Structure 1
Amino acid sequence: MRFRSAFPLLVLLLAACGAPPAPLPRAEPLLVAGYLTEWSVYGRDFRVKDLAAERLTHLTYAFGRVTGGRCATGDAWAAHQRPVAAVDSVDGVADTAADTLRGSFGQLRKLKTRHPRLRVLWSFGGWTGSAGFTEAARDPAAFAESCRALLADPRWAGLFDGIDIDWEYPNACGMTCDDSGPAALTGILAALRSALGPGALISAAVPGDVGRLRSADYASAARHADWLGAMTYDYFGAAGSGKETGVPHSPLTPYPGIPRQTAATSATVDELLRAGVPAGKLLIGVGFYGRGWTGTARGLEDYRVLAARCPPTGTLGGTAYASCGDQWWSYDTPETVAAKVAYARDRGLGGLFAWELSGDSDDGALLRALSG
């Protein structure tokens, strides 16, 4: 109680000294979002019916494509054509030849009927699908209109509550490089807001890397979005993240010996807040997977596998690591996820999101911690 009563005075004193006030700790519930990948129905055999939707406020379906500067479907067979058997269906009823909407979209419609408060977004882009945004940025209005028309397709009209833009990366390099300029993402999000209207949800995934964050005007982009989701994972061990081995891929905070002081969730958050992104519009990401090494060979594995095969032996920078035989892994656990939730609340952030939901254990341990 003493801390709560003194905090507003501290804010006033900082403002009087010319320092930007720190965000107030968040009192209202955090937004809890999770990505469902289009390809998870194949090798992973993870389906819409496997989602613990009651623990999510928002679900993001990834990915649609950006083709010719326009929104387009991704894998049509998985998305809306593939018949779903009764045993794999949300309501236990199999798809038939007469059903005009099958696949994951049909199951998402059933899921929303069962969980009417769940909001569903369709994400476009991703690491391998971002090249088309450069062309989209040349005519944002046409891009946005194509997205509006796609969401209104009679086969799934009303299913999606909005759009997520996963551009990796505006005015920077990911799998491909873009030089559209710092305002390109703002132009796309502003056009989407105009085309979809004020009631639609619009979000954007943004880099965790501080250098890439400085290549675009994310504060201006945030004005047209409901939230920005910072990809605060893969700081190390992934393509384009550096050649360092044996370091955690998603630390919450820097630690002694970290190869780059800015390669941590807290540094990403500091950079975005310093740039002017409102804390309440910022989400941090949690990877439901680990990255590891055997000698210098890199690997990636789901949390569900690592928790049983290579359980954690310690923590570093607010994330867990595990040594088992000649392997070294880093990944988040329910305990470290809970600490990230507490951090998000303390910083006044809007919430957290999971990439991606199929990596969780069968008992949903990470999602339970994320929604705690």
Structure 2
Amino acid sequence: MRFRHRAAAGFATLLLPLAGLVGLAGPAQAAETATATYTKASDWGTGFEGKWTVQNTGTTTITAWTVEWDFPSGTSVTSAWDADVTSSGTHWTAKNKSYNGTLAPGASVSFGFNGAGSGSPANCKLNGGSCDGTSVPGDNPPSAPGTPTASDITNTSVKLSWSAATDDKGVKNYDVLRGGAKVATVTSTSYTDTGLTAGTDYSYTVQARDTADQTGPVSGAVAVRTTGGTTPPPTGDTVKLGYFTEWGIYGRNYNVKNLVTSGSAAKITHINYAFGNVTGGKCAIGDSFADYEKSFTADQSVSGAADTWDQPLRGNFNQLRQLKAKYPNLKVLWSFGGWTWSGGFTEAARNPAAFAQSCYDLVEDPRWADVFDGIDIDWEYPNACGLSCDSSGRDAFKNLMSALRAKFGANYLVTAATTADGSSGGKIDATDYAGAAQYVDWYNVMTYDFFGAWAAQGPTAPHSPLTSYSGIPTAGFTTADAMAKYKAQGVPAKKLLIGIGFYGRGWTGVTQDAPGGTATGAAAGTYEQGIEDYKVLKTSCPATGTVAGTAYAKCGSNWWSYDTPATIGTKMAWAKTQGLGGAFFWEFSGDTGNGELVSAINSGLS
């Protein structure tokens, strides 16, 4: 993928002078103490900004914290950051986020909120004890229960059993979670879930509660498929894959549920979730808020049920889990790197085994292990230049993919997004893609972004030409040239997917209708200069011609090139004659509300 933009997630905290310290503090660990201190950071009459600081004043690490307090009637929390804040009447409760619950001795953490009214907190408790550190409840959260096992599976029910959790004060009960949502609370270590749908995939985890109602970590997940059902098995092995961007839920307001409402989920075989970061030689979370923290409302959710504050998994990961339950044959891969984060692969290539281990540990995190069926590597570009330049050597990519396959094994998908530079001595020639092909299931060959308004003066050219044409600015910059070069290197045609961009690239200051005209710069785009979604261009600048299998249009002084359902049909037919493994596209949110480009790919490959 050539263009990658990430929206900032989460909430911003105002850095204002501290005022009005109110000392309130308390304990959080057996035989240890902790304090919670409240500060009113600012006050604007009708509202204020409050801040709590939790400090571990003991000698044992704290693994979780909960701060509770009472506000007088008329005072409330309107928004919060770095904690999950809920209320029951005038009683308020704040629990740590997944990333800030652990406090070493002497360490502290703060969370803040905006409030309405003028009251101050009272009756503070920290993990059930006094907030001033004078009383020690000595109550740790419970441990994780054992991963459930499934038995007595029928069309509509399954029995789950698990080994007990432990707790210093005793376990009170267990929450049974189906797809991350609580379906039951039981006192025993078994539960039979009923009312299920025949022939459907489900995922279960369990979470313990202690006598103080503290919840511990979630168990590992068990996947269950009920018997019966009429869901047909996948037909053939043709891949129809789309990228879903983690940041699309922000400005674009494109959620996983849109894959259902557009009809696209029923017409694809795979989703690449973009992107995980590559940093410090390891795979890492890209955007924790979007990935697993954001709460979706009922109308935004695939299941139609709103997320709750104490749900063990939220965000896009939980929505993808719900999507897979609805479409059991759909596979999801986690894509790492991309244009912005490809610089991290240089360090990763120095120790491929350590990199592969980090990726496996992240993909198989018990909180979302059932969501992902494989890993996709988007290195732009090995032993060549993209946003930055890499000089790891011709074998670096092969060594990395070999390590990933060795770690993930045969039951996981291992794929990669790769260059489409078919020029002589270009990026395909810089890397041993044929040698790496034995370790991958397929390559997503990025057969788009060949030309664009980074060449501000032109010449205008289609950004995703299928074949060459008279006047093409750079020889070898076509889909056909790229695929021919891969196959000549020894990459099997079945491991090559043709790429489709669900967007156009354009120039302004253009006077010539046909390709090859001069320009003065990039045409205006909704999110970035020189780029616009198909769903916008379809009506704002309808196609007026085709060249090299791609549509183009001139509207006023703007000139755009993009794929339409008709040109996609041409490209899919060509892909079948070449024996390619299928197609992929970047990315879902560029399509129309009824998914007409996805439909064109599906129809063209059927």
Taking structure 1 as the reference length, the TM-score comes to 0.91
Give the aligned residue type for 2:531.
L
- C-alpha distance in structure 1 between counterparts of 2:457 and 2:339, whole Å: 19
- C-alpha distance in structure 2 between counterparts of 1:244 and 1:353, whole Å: 28
Quote the residue 1:315 is aligned against: 546
SS at match of 1:215: coil
Aligned pairs for 1:13-28 (under 5 A) are 28=236
- 2:457–2:521 Cα contact (<8 Å) kept: no
Quote the residue 2:462 is aligned against: 248
- C-alpha distance in structure 2 between counterparts of 1:142 and 1:117, whole Å: 32
Query: Does 1:276 pair with 2:500?
Result: no
- C-alpha distance in structure 1 between counterparts of 2:558 and 2:596, whole Å: 23
More strand by share: 2
**4+ residue segments displaced more than 3 Å:** 241-245
- C-alpha distance in structure 2 between counterparts of 1:242 and 1:301, whole Å: 16
Q: 2:249 aligns with which of 21, 24, 41?
A: 41
* Cα shift at 1:245: 3.3
* Cα shift at 1:246: 1.2
- C-alpha distance in structure 2 between counterparts of 1:259 and 1:238, whole Å: 13
- How many residues are aligned here? 345
Q: Deviations over 1:287-326 (max 9, x none)?
A: 0000001022221000000001000000000000011111
Quote the residue 2:499 is aligned against: 285
- C-alpha distance in structure 2 between counterparts of 1:66 and 1:242, whole Å: 31
SS at match of 1:205: strand
Quote the residue 1:226 is aligned against: 441
- C-alpha distance in structure 1 between counterparts of 2:505 and 2:290, whole Å: 28
Give the aligned residue type for 1:261.
A
Quote the residue 1:79 is aligned against: 291
Give the aligned residue type for 2:266.
E
Q: 1:345 aligns with which of 572, 576, 581?
A: 576
Q: 1:123 aligns with which of 312, 320, 335?
A: 335
Aligned pairs for 1:31-180 (under 5 A) are 31-51=239-259, 52-180=264-392
- 2:459–2:473 Cα contact (<8 Å) kept: no
Give the aligned residue type for 1:305.
V
- C-alpha distance in structure 2 between counterparts of 1:344 and 1:371, whole Å: 13
Per the alignment, do residues 238 and 173 of structure 1 end up closer, same or farther by CA in structure 2, a change over 3 Å counting?
A: farther
Question: Which one has the largest radius of gyration?
Answer: 2
- C-alpha distance in structure 2 between counterparts of 1:335 and 1:77, whole Å: 38
SS at match of 1:45: coil
* Cα shift at 1:337: 0.5
* Cα shift at 1:238: 5.9
Give the aligned residue type for 2:276.
G
Does 1 or 2 have the higher relative contact order (CA < 8 Å, sep 6+)? 1
SS at match of 1:214: coil
Structure 1 stretch displaced more, 256-265 or 115-124: 256-265
Quote the residue 1:354 is aligned against: 585
* Cα shift at 1:85: 0.5
- C-alpha distance in structure 2 between counterparts of 1:115 and 1:255, whole Å: 42
Give the aligned residue type for 1:219.
A
Give the aligned residue type for 1:83.
S
Give the aligned residue type for 2:521.
A
Q: Deviations over 1:259-284 (max 9, x none)?
A: 12311110111111111100000001
* Cα shift at 1:244: 3.6
* Cα shift at 1:256: 1.1
Q: 2:521 aligns with which of 272, 285, 297?
A: 297
Per the alignment, do residues 142 and 242 of structure 1 end up closer, same or farther by CA in structure 2, a change over 3 Å counting?
A: farther
* Cα shift at 1:225: 0.2
Gaps of 5+ in 1: 1-26
- C-alpha distance in structure 2 between counterparts of 1:44 and 1:150, whole Å: 27
Gaps of 5+ in 2: 1-234, 510-519, 523-529
Give the aligned residue type for 1:190.
S
Aligned pairs for 1:178-189 (under 5 A) are 178-189=390-401
* Cα shift at 1:352: 0.5
More helix by share: 1
- 2:398–2:435 Cα contact (<8 Å) kept: yes
Structure 1 stretch displaced more, 265-274 or 242-251: 242-251
* Cα shift at 1:175: 0.2
- C-alpha distance in structure 1 between counterparts of 2:599 and 2:258, whole Å: 14
SS at match of 1:143: helix
* Cα shift at 1:86: 0.5
Q: Calculate the aligned-residue CA RMSD, in Å.
A: 1.3
- C-alpha distance in structure 1 between counterparts of 2:475 and 2:352, whole Å: 36
- C-alpha distance in structure 1 between counterparts of 2:481 and 2:238, whole Å: 21
Give the aligned residue type for 1:323.
K
- C-alpha distance in structure 1 between counterparts of 2:295 and 2:237, whole Å: 37
- Aligned-pair identity in percent equals 55
Per the alignment, do residues 29 and 155 of structure 1 end up closer, same or farther by CA in structure 2, a change over 3 Å counting?
A: closer
- 2:420–2:482 Cα contact (<8 Å) kept: yes
Taking structure 2 as the reference length, the TM-score comes to 0.56
SS at match of 2:473: coil
Query: Does 1:235 pair with 2:450?
Result: yes
Quote the residue 2:203 is aligned against: none
Quote the residue 2:597 is aligned against: 366
